[in-house]
Amino acid sequence: MLAAGAQAAELKVYSPTAVKAVLQELGPQFEKATGDKLVFTFGLTAAVKKQIDEGAAFDVVILTLTLTNDLATAGKIDPASRVAIGRAGSGVSVPASSPKPDVSATEALKRTLLQAKSIGFTGVGASPAGNEAYWPSLASPIK
């Protein structure tokens, strides 16, 4: 509830679609508790960063640590305002007719990837950066 004479704020939140469901669930709870209104802009991680780089007005931005570091370096956000709110993992899938891959430990995952006939991953969002950071740690280069 707002104090008499106080006005609710409209907060512009830029976020990747990866956390859209969470924010759509938590948003109304925040709005009820604070009286403020959240206005979400969702998109692929790289697209959200590009919008911020191009001058989009925002109050909150949710991005990967690497991209928030870039925004801090560029003076777009206050580095002291950054807070880790979660961790994201990657998944492995194979065709239904294939045996389940062994990804139980780092070495098992390396073996699985090195033995694969092909590997595909998304080329958009935050995935390329994470995948490219992982490839050098393998025993053999993957191209």
Q: Which CATH number fits domain 10-81: 3.40.50.300, 3.40.190.10, 3.10.110.10, 3.40.718.10?
A: 3.40.190.10
**Amino acid identity, residue 31?**
E
Q: Measured between alpha carbons, how far is 51 from 9 in angstroms, rounded to an integer?
A: 22
Residues in the chain: 143
**Residue 18: predicted pLDDT:** 86
Low-confidence ranges of the chain (pLDDT < 50): 1-5, 141-143
**Residue 21: predicted pLDDT:** 92
Q: Is the pTM of this model over 0.75?
A: no
**Could you give the angle at which helices 45-53 and 65-73 cross, rounded to 10 degrees?**
10
Residue boundaries of the structural domains of the chain: 10-81, 90-143
